[in-house]
Chains A and B, each alone.
Chain A
Amino acid sequence: MSYQNVKEMLESAEFQARVESLVQNYPEPRTALLPALHLCQSELRHVPLEYQAWIADRLGMSPAHVRGVVTFYEMYTEKQLGRHLLQVCKTLPCMLSGSEVLLDHLQSRLGLRVGETSRDGKFTLVTVECLACCDGGPALMINETLHRHVSPADADRILSELE
């Protein structure tokens, strides 16, 4: 994360320029809302209310509209996630390939239940619906990296390599 908090991020000329380029990228500015929310989620690992109000103002929307959007989509969170978001696909093809075993293993290894973040802020463990990787089950996506055919031993190795 390059910004300490939402205030620092919103005051950064560099960040503002990135938002402006998103706004200019589409025929109408409102299409930039989802990309601008992705940007915040990736920088701060959540989308705080201050940011929702700021981007609403920039795009000429109401903060309530923006909050409605933030809470509709799974990938935006109002609560800050851990540095590494562990996403276990739980849908049928992955379940047939052993995703329940992978999830059990991750829960016991990390001492986390689904939806929880470790105290040191390093890991958040969630389950997700089909990742369109059904021939590679069980699939585990960590932040933006997709891992295929992940056995418990593979998961141990992958986790040990994360900072």
Chain B
Amino acid sequence: MAEILKLLTRNMGHANSTNVDAYMASGGYDPLLTALHKMSPEQVLNEVKASNLKGRGGAGFPAGLKWSFLPKGKEKVKYLVCNADESEPGTFKDRLLIENDPHAVLEGIILAGFATQSAGCFFYIRGEMPQGARIFQRAVDQAYERGFLGRNILGSGFDFDVYVSRGAGAYICGEETALMNSLEGKRGEPRLKPPFPAGYGVYGQPSNINNVETYANVPLIVKNGGAWYAGIGAPSAPGPRLYGISGHVKKPGVYELPSGVSLRELIYEHAGGILGDRPLKAVIPGGSSVPVLRADQIDVGMDPDGLKTVGSMVGSAGVIVMNDTVCMVRAILNLAQFYAHESCGQCTPCREGTVWMRKIIARIEAGEGRPGDVDLLDEVAGNIMGRTICPLGDAAAMPVQSFVKQFRAEFEAHITEGRCPMAHTRMTVAV
């Protein structure tokens, strides 16, 4: 069994873990000092490239490569963005970092700013995390007081600012260009790409955006070296990873494990197995947008390659576990409602398609499904896929297609029996 790591979670549980002094007492901001005084921006960038750090927000794009897309030098004002708009259902790891170790995230941001010679970073945190926003703002204030932010940081000649901004309740703002529009005081509607953020981002300036957990890895990489990092866990997407697990498990929570840990081990060892010792029925392995797995598909590594073998993705590494009491039509209805509610409405296939999917699933669940509805549902989902300017359309369609594919007989049974065979009652898990 893989051992729980204490890298990203090294300061969790310590007294005053959000305070700058406590952070520094355990070696915090040493990597920043090293970078500013002993390394060039290119050297920091090269370590991150060598680490093969992949983005932790869901898409898994190589972080170092992304940084290198920004124009070099200081002729243009460049911005970083930290995406703290954590809203993918099943995902709750960034909250842990923000609320318990904000300086680790902040140090990673400043290091990324140095590596890319950016002017500042917007920390965009979802509106429903007011406490996290206060904690992070306090960390930023402390960093200014200690000279880790502002003009001429630690005498290095490097200037860098951080601005905290809150979202206001829109899942779509987790999409990078929607987030940038939101930062500009606009509706959170994604932009058509190209141009990509590296050329035209916040205020039209070259911008780089990464997830909270991605930035939190950077101090570890600068401290221990890219080669060290690349040796942890799955080689194609290495490093420690924060796996969130929720739903029908005995010990839901965030577990820091090497990337590529087995899904079975995560569920049955770390999370203590299925609630009530009931049979496992289904698992969504990487946040609500990724394809669902059946109980016989969990002997895979929790990394992109491992989950690809069963047709799914690691996404945000938020694992949602369902036991045999759950009606699969009811489960996907819940998610279909989510996406129909969160579609921004710009692209017709997504605006209309998400609502049609919700309606069709709702009538199937209510026992009013018509012959051919399952094919119709699959077709509507297929007509959204790849036809929208941002990934929300695909994110809404993929789970629907996968539920139909994996549990088709259950959908058909609803229609032929004219009712939900699970006789769905309110789920009353002991709390």
Taking a contact as CB atoms under 8 Å apart, the answer to whether B89 and A129 are in contact is yes
List chain A residues, Cβ under 8 A from B95: 132-133
Taking a contact as CB atoms under 8 Å apart, the answer to whether B246 and A144 are in contact is no
Taking a contact as CB atoms under 8 Å apart, the answer to whether B91 and A151 are in contact is no
In Å, the complex CA distance between A93 and B338 comes to: 12
List chain A residues, Cβ under 8 A from B131: 144, 146
From B128, which residue of chain A is reached at the shortest CB distance? A131
Taking a contact as CB atoms under 8 Å apart, the answer to whether A91 and B163 are in contact is no
Given contacts A96-B248, A98-B429, A100-B427, contact A132 B91 (CB under 8 A): yes
Taking a contact as CB atoms under 8 Å apart, the answer to whether A130 and B88 are in contact is yes
Distance of A64 from chain B, by nearest CB (Å): 12
Taking a contact as CB atoms under 8 Å apart, the answer to whether B184 and A30 are in contact is yes
List chain B residues, Cβ under 8 A from A134: 89-92, 244, 246-247, 252, 318, 320
A52 part of interface (Cβ distance < 8 Å): no
- The residue from A68, A76, A93 contacting B89, defined by CB atoms under 8 A apart: A93
List chain A residues, Cβ under 8 A from B254: 135
Residues of chain B in range 146-171 having any CB-CB distance to chain A below 8 Å: 163, 165-171
In Å, the complex CA distance between A41 and B295 comes to: 46
From B203, which residue of chain A is reached at the shortest CB distance? A28
Residues of chain A in range 1-41 having any CB-CB distance to chain B below 8 Å: 25-28, 30-35, 37-38
A138 part of interface (Cβ distance < 8 Å): yes
Given contacts A31-B165, A74-B170, A129-B342, contact A92 B89 (CB under 8 A): yes
Given contacts A104-B426, A146-B131, contact A76 B168 (CB under 8 A): yes
List chain B residues, Cβ under 8 A from A128: 128, 169
In Å, the complex CA distance between A142 and B288 comes to: 25
List chain B residues, Cβ under 8 A from A151: 431
- The residue from B87, B183, B428 contacting A129, defined by CB atoms under 8 A apart: B87
B310 part of interface (Cβ distance < 8 Å): no
Q: Most chain-A Cβ atoms within 10 A of its Cβ — which of B92, B128, B130, B187?
A: B128
Residues of chain B in range 242-264 having any CB-CB distance to chain A below 8 Å: 244-248, 252-254
Taking a contact as CB atoms under 8 Å apart, the answer to whether A75 and B168 are in contact is yes
From B251, which residue of chain A is reached at the shortest CB distance? A135
B347 part of interface (Cβ distance < 8 Å): no
In Å, the complex CA distance between A32 and B164 comes to: 11
Taking a contact as CB atoms under 8 Å apart, the answer to whether A92 and B334 are in contact is yes
Residues of chain A in range 119-143 having any CB-CB distance to chain B below 8 Å: 128-138, 141
Taking a contact as CB atoms under 8 Å apart, the answer to whether A98 and B431 are in contact is yes
Fill in one digit per residue for A52-72: 1 if any B CB lies within 8 Å of its CB, else 0: 000000010100010011001
In Å, the complex CA distance between A144 and B308 comes to: 40
In Å, the complex CA distance between A146 and B92 comes to: 14
Taking a contact as CB atoms under 8 Å apart, the answer to whether A132 and B187 are in contact is no
List chain B residues, Cβ under 8 A from A68: 187
The size class of the interface chain A forms with chain B is 35 or more
Distance of A50 from chain B, by nearest CB (Å): 19
Fill in one digit per residue for B385-423: 1 if any A CB lies within 8 Å of its CB, else 0: 000000000000000000000000000000000000000
In Å, the complex CA distance between A69 and B428 comes to: 38
In Å, the complex CA distance between A98 and B187 comes to: 33
List chain A residues, Cβ under 8 A from B184: 28, 30-31
List chain A residues, Cβ under 8 A from B94: 132
Fill in one digit per residue for B77-89: 1 if any A CB lies within 8 Å of its CB, else 0: 0000000001111
B197 part of interface (Cβ distance < 8 Å): no
In Å, the complex CA distance between A31 and B185 comes to: 5
B341 part of interface (Cβ distance < 8 Å): yes
Taking a contact as CB atoms under 8 Å apart, the answer to whether B166 and A35 are in contact is yes
In Å, the complex CA distance between A144 and B184 comes to: 25
Taking a contact as CB atoms under 8 Å apart, the answer to whether A135 and B246 are in contact is yes
Taking a contact as CB atoms under 8 Å apart, the answer to whether B427 and A98 are in contact is yes
A95 part of interface (Cβ distance < 8 Å): yes
List chain A residues, Cβ under 8 A from B113: none
A117 part of interface (Cβ distance < 8 Å): no
From A90, which residue of chain B is reached at the shortest CB distance? B334
In Å, the complex CA distance between A131 and B88 comes to: 9
Q: Most chain-B Cβ atoms within 10 A of its Cβ — which of A27, A38, A136, A141?
A: A27
- The residue from B129, B163, B331, B427 contacting A27, defined by CB atoms under 8 A apart: B163
From A141, which residue of chain B is reached at the shortest CB distance? B128
Taking a contact as CB atoms under 8 Å apart, the answer to whether B338 and A129 are in contact is yes
By Cβ-Cβ distance, the 4 closest A-B pairs, closest first, are A74-B169, A33-B185, A73-B168, A134-B246
20 additional contacts (CB under 8 A) given A28-B184, A74-B169: A31-B122, A33-B185, A69-B185, A75-B169, A91-B89, A92-B89, A92-B284, A92-B338, A93-B247, A96-B427, A97-B247, A97-B429, A134-B89, A134-B92, A134-B244, A134-B252, A135-B244, A137-B246, A137-B252, A144-B131
